[in-house]
Structure 1
């Protein structure tokens, strides 16, 4: 049994697409893969009920028909940090609910890909951060980083925080590569500064749209661009 937590250097950097692509790539290798989005801020509404568009995207990419209450146990209406969104709705995020859902998914699958909310230091409740959730669940992490200018600083700080909080980091995935000197040189510098491997660089695919449920070629892009074997070796 194994899990991988997908977090990032910021929000809106493609964590959902990367998580879905990795889940699909591992499924194609013969693993029974589960997915999870523990907390969805900015949950959409359908027929008067909230749902997680990120969780649905993850499920659709791998053809999962699992229990949505397990896959996304916490739904929040406002697109804000979970702690703020929950406070506005008068809710308390139940960490035991999240952990029990994860353990059930872990029992059912060989690997569970868990996608966080925003960056690694986003607060879930009070001073309990995404990084605290990762350690609470006892998982290694993959950091998703932008390809654009500024990613060296953001990625370095994210990895330093992960190190300080004791999170085992499998590596960094650079997402949405479009070309340019900054994009071409940043991955090597990130590796040199931190000692953490860059697992691969995923090129920009305009066909990917999580909000509208369009996966584009994300699974094949992950298979072609990411060192899947290194990830498998790390967790097994």
Structure 2
């Protein structure tokens, strides 16, 4: 079994990439041979005539690796929509074998893999295959990223319940702070989720404008994640 974790979210835009990249930077800084992967990405942009994902580039920078981009992000679409819809609009299908082959190669090169999903667990990859199926196939425990805002209790409980029902191991939750949420709501949200799930809280990432996928600042990321996440419980 590959050592690592699969970073998923309770929704889109909750901070999965920041968390996945922050964990990669933290482990890399501690001497771990960490690899990263963003199997499927949407909302890609063209850089030097090549369609790439900012999330995938951020992961590569954070982990300080030189693996081929195509291994890190085998599937990328320009449209910022669900992968299956993007594939339909591009008259193609998502090649799962390409994803599996890339994952196998990366696992042989690295001691610990951090894989970031797209959206939440029930984002479809094809007609009968979802992101949760990818996590289950890779045999990686989940780290669930939850945004500290109104609605998070419901979203988090649903995500954890579905993962458990489908036999996916859950390593824990990382909360990502939201600028507009008051402290009372934040504190009670975390307490309620702990009370209902008994799932470990691995850390809470404070809101900081410098945590930016498109403008990676190594020292900032390392400081924030070192102060708020125990790397020893991630590995």
Q: Flag whether TM exceeds 0.5 (same fold).
A: yes
Unpaired stretches in structure 1, ≥5 consecutive residues:
none
Contact 2:149-2:178 within 8 A present in 1 as well: yes
How far is 1:208 from its partner?
1.9
Contact 2:61-2:216 within 8 A present in 1 as well: no
Deviations 1:71-130 (A, max 9, x none): 000011111011111111011111111111111111101101110001111111113111
Runs of 4+ in 1 over 3 A off after TM superposition: none
| Distance in 2 separating the partners of 1:75 and 1:201 | 30
Contact 1:122-1:130 within 8 A present in 2 as well: yes
Aligned match of 1:174: 175
Q: 2:204 aligns with which of 201, 206, 228?
A: 201
| Distance in 1 separating the partners of 2:137 and 2:88 | 22
Unpaired stretches in structure 2, ≥5 consecutive residues:
none
TM-score w.r.t. structure 2 length? 0.94
Contact 2:39-2:72 within 8 A present in 1 as well: yes
Aligned match of 2:215: 213
Deviations 1:51-71 (A, max 9, x none): 121111111122212110100
| Distance in 1 separating the partners of 2:55 and 2:91 | 23
Contact 1:6-1:113 within 8 A present in 2 as well: yes
| Distance in 2 separating the partners of 1:8 and 1:40 | 14
Aligned match of 1:5: 6
| Distance in 2 separating the partners of 1:119 and 1:110 | 26
Aligned residues: 231
How far is 1:177 from its partner?
4.7
| Distance in 2 separating the partners of 1:7 and 1:16 | 9
1:1-236 alignment to 2 at 5 Å? 1-178=2-179, 179-210=182-213, 212-215=214-217, 217-232=220-235
Q: What's the RMSD between the two structures over aligned residues?
A: 1.4
Shift of the 103–205 alpha-carbon distance from structure 1 to 2, 3 Å rule, reads: same
Contact 2:28-2:64 within 8 A present in 1 as well: no
| Distance in 1 separating the partners of 2:63 and 2:141 | 21
| Distance in 1 separating the partners of 2:137 and 2:106 | 16
TM-score w.r.t. structure 1 length? 0.93
